[in-house]
Structure 1
Amino acid sequence: MPPEPNTAPLAAAARKRHELTRAKAIQALRELDRTGAPASFEGVARRAGISRSWLYCQPDIRVEIERLRDTTRRSPSPPIPAAERSSDASLHARLEAALERNRQLTEENQRLRRQLAHALGDQRTSTRARS
């Protein structure tokens, strides 16, 4: 009976190559996102030095490329690099501040309207008193 081939080194090399390719693809995606460049399968493959077909076979990487691509397509202005984008927490804080300012302005408007109504009433009363 012939000896069984030792495939462990071959399998280990394939796993290592797969992980290296994934790392290259993820790095290329991060770079595209960081710079605000449009994301596409072609762009990621070119930047990472890997094949597009390999990217299409990786579900998580494929979803991320599609998400970034859709984000940049929806935006009418040039894409904003990741480091310059507002976080959800930042946007929420800005919204809360704007709502508080709006409430303050509404209260001030009401106070000024009451003061104006009193002043006009006083003016009308003093004009009648002179007549």
Structure 2
Amino acid sequence: MVKQVRNTEEIVRLAKQKSRRTRENVDKVISKLSLEGKTINFNTVAKEANVSKSWLYKEHDIRQRIESLRKQQKTENVISKPKKSSRSEEVLIKTLKTRVKELEEENIRLRNQIQKLYGDLYIRE
């Protein structure tokens, strides 16, 4: 008996092509919603892109993108609500200046350390 070998290359190619088109469509929808300032979550993206929510959850990179954009929108809403007094702004500025100074000092220290290591490496060669 001769075992028949099925040719599935075309089916696989078409499935990959469909998946690629779907991903591009979802990317366009997410970009469009973002530019229009609309709410980005799994429901809105699924409706707009005409895909299932389960598909969005299954595709890890798309899922992470939606979750991150959703989180950004939540923090923007929370951050924009409280009004800061001039005193709290002064404290914040002072804290940030101190942090910048610390980071600059650390940057200088690390650059010196790198130069020393390059020198040690050069001596070894």
TM-score per shorter chain, which class?
0.5 to 0.7
Q: CA RMSD in A?
A: 1.8
- Cα deviation, 1:14-42, whole Å, max 9, x if unaligned, reads 00110011011111110111111110011
Q: Secondary structure at the match of 1:22?
A: helix
Once the two structures are TM-superposed, the CA of residue 46 in structure 1 deviates from its matched residue by 0.6
The corresponding residue for 2:8 is 7
Greater relative contact order: 1 or 2 (C-alpha under 8 angstroms, separation 6 or more)?
Answer: 1
Aligned residue in 2 for 1:109: none
Give the TM-score of the pair, scaled to structure 2.
0.59
Report the structure number with the largest CA radius of gyration.
1
Aligned partner of 1:60 in structure 2 is: 61
Q: Which residue of structure 2 lines up, in the alignment, with residue 94 of structure 1? A: none
> Any stretches of 5+ residues in structure 1 without a counterpart?
80-98, 100-131
Q: How many residues align?
A: 79
Q: Which runs of 5+ in 2 are unaligned?
A: 81-92, 94-125
Q: Kindly state the Cα deviation for residue 58 of structure 1 after the two structures are TM-superposed.
A: 1.0
Match of 2:17 in 1: 16
TM-score normalised by L of structure 1 = 0.56
Identity of aligned residues (%): 29
Which consecutive segments of 4 or more residues in structure 1 shift more than 6 A?
none
